[in-house]
Amino acid sequence: MLRAEDIKKNIDLVEIVSESVRLKRSGRYLMGLCPFHGERHPSFCVDPERQLFYCFGCGAGGDVFNFVMRLHNYTFHEALSFLAERAGIREVVDERVDFLKGLQVLFQKTLLMSKRAKAYLKRRGIAPDRAGEFGIGLCPKNLLEILRRKNQLLLAERSGLKEKFIGVFQGRLTFPFYDRSGNLVGFAARRINGQGPKYINTEETDLFKKRGLLFGINFLKKRGKVYVVEGYFDCISCLAAGIPAVATGGTSFTADQARLLKGFDRVVVAFDGDKAGRAATMRAFKVLVACDVYPYAIFLPKGEDPDSLVRKGRERFLCLPERDLFELIKDTIGRLPPQSAVERLNNLASFLRDSPSALSKLLLERIKGAFGIKIKRQAKKQLDTETRILEILLSSRELVEDLKEKGLLEAIENPEIREALRYFAEHKMLPPASAYMNLLARATIYPASQDLKEKAIRYLKRKRACKGL
């Protein structure tokens, strides 16, 4: 087992930090620009003696583990193997991972030799020679015999394949699951014909916790857009058509799965368009919001799933309009009778209030602002929310960048303000005073925004006074 203490002894925090931050000595410390928040004057401080860092700007701090976890969005275990490699400490490879890797090779070979399985894949629109690209395999009908001969039954059991269970696995198509470090940790298996449940998985082990894994994520680079679909074949059809997708594999979407998607720029949930699909989408949205990921969704035409639609032409899938969370809420609420609408809104509001993410807070504000309109005056209420958001935004460039990153700038109704803020965020610059004024001037084209203008100007004056501009 790798031990954090062993690794720390062999690693220099200064060296690791220096790869992403230019450090300058200042007394017994080293200072630089903080990589965790945007700044112009260094407030990020490294103590080489104690091997600790601290940022006076944003309060980030800790040891080398905290640093790489935060910088790369790693879990502790990922940080452990990353730093172990840097320290030249070899991780003892879990023999189960090697065993499962061996099974995967066997399953893929078996598939290529099976006419029946290849015919099945062809019917599902997957060219058999491409099956390997997506990890599809076939469990041989004599797996139990093979494992017994190799004396691997015990190892198989520890890897989630008990002797009793192997019989059910045999003859099924297999789909491999990989963890964040790229280790194969378990399989799902689909029956081609015969009896038994349509899908089964290898049993849960400390390596294989299916609720925290997403099928297909190992095939993607973690950036750009990603679609979250339900089925393995949905995912594979998308991938085969060059559409980035991951599959939940039938389980309901979890926070651990949401966290896996944090590196992507845009997360689009693509479940069925029916009532159950919409409900599942809303549930997934809640999970994503709680993890600070701003969600989008597409809804498939009746009777279609991503698999069937993509096979009719990828454009038909890609051209479906993406709706964001707020639109969806507006939609749902709009269709309910007033009594249930209020109830639904209250539920939603209490969920958002309890959720710890920054995104939840902002959404709550927006919902409060938007739905007050039913009871109170429309324009006024809307503008007040906008004003508040603007006020907060003008106070901090990091906030603007943060919002952009989370896709939350879309939450700003006024297109002029939205575009200007997006520009500031994209150019990672502190808007100069003239740009602020420009922005405010443009905001005046909106009715009743005099109020907003005045507020923002007062605010700016105050800020300028503080900074001695």
- Applying CB under 5 A, which residues contact Zn ion? 34, 36-37, 55, 57-58
Q: Which two tokens stand for residue 84?
A: 């172990």
Q: Which of 151, 120, 296 is nearest to 225 (CA)?
A: 296
The answer to whether residues 44 and 21 touch, using CB atoms and an 8 Å cutoff, is: yes
Residue among 61 and 128 whose Cβ is closer to Zn ion: 61
Residue among 62 and 303 whose Cβ is closer to Zn ion: 62
Residue among 37 and 397 whose Cβ is closer to Zn ion: 37
Q: Which two tokens stand for residue 404?
A: 């952009």
CA pseudo-torsion sign 56, 57, 59, 60: negative
What is the Cα–Cα distance from 399 to 361, expressed in whole angstroms?
Answer: 13
Residue among 36 and 285 whose Cβ is closer to Zn ion: 36
| Residue listed under structure tokens 């992507």 | 264
Residue among 54 and 199 whose Cβ is closer to Zn ion: 54
| Residue listed under structure tokens 């209020």 | 342
Residue among 45 and 393 whose Cβ is closer to Zn ion: 45
- Classify 106 as helix, strand or coil: helix
Phi, psi of 339 (to 5 degrees): -60, -50
Provide, rounded to whole angstroms, the least separation between the CB of residue 23 and Zn ion: 14
Q: Which of 160, 94, 105 is nearest to 138 (CA)?
A: 105
User: How many other CB atoms are there within 10 angstroms of residue 286's CB atom?
Assistant: 20
Provide, rounded to whole angstroms, the least separation between the CB of residue 50 and Zn ion: 18
Crossing angle of the two packed helices 415-426 and 378-394, in degrees rounded to 10: 20
Q: Which two tokens stand for residue 103?
A: 């099974």
Provide, rounded to whole angstroms, the least separation between the CB of residue 428 and Zn ion: 15
Q: Which of 74, 62, 80, 73 is nearest to 5 (CA)?
A: 80
Half-sphere exposure of 398 (CA within 13 A, CB side): 10
Provide, rounded to whole angstroms, the least separation between the CB of residue 33 and Zn ion: 9
Q: CB under 8 Å to 442, separation ≥6 — which residues?
A: 416, 417, 420
Provide, rounded to whole angstroms, the least separation between the CB of residue 424 and Zn ion: 19
Residue among 53 and 232 whose Cβ is closer to Zn ion: 53
Q: Which two tokens stand for residue 205?
A: 């082990």
C-alpha torsion 126→129→131→132, nearest 10: -170
What is the Cα–Cα distance from 432 to 451, expressed in whole angstroms?
Answer: 22
- Classify 252 as helix, strand or coil: coil
Q: Quick one: which H or E segment has residue 35?
A: none
**DSSP type of residue 93:** P
Q: What is the largest CA-CA distance in the chain?
A: 82
Residue among 34 and 325 whose Cβ is closer to Zn ion: 34
Residue among 44 and 227 whose Cβ is closer to Zn ion: 44
Residue among 63 and 94 whose Cβ is closer to Zn ion: 63
CA distance from start to end of the chain: 56
Residue among 42 and 407 whose Cβ is closer to Zn ion: 42
The answer to whether residues 109 and 197 touch, using CB atoms and an 8 Å cutoff, is: no
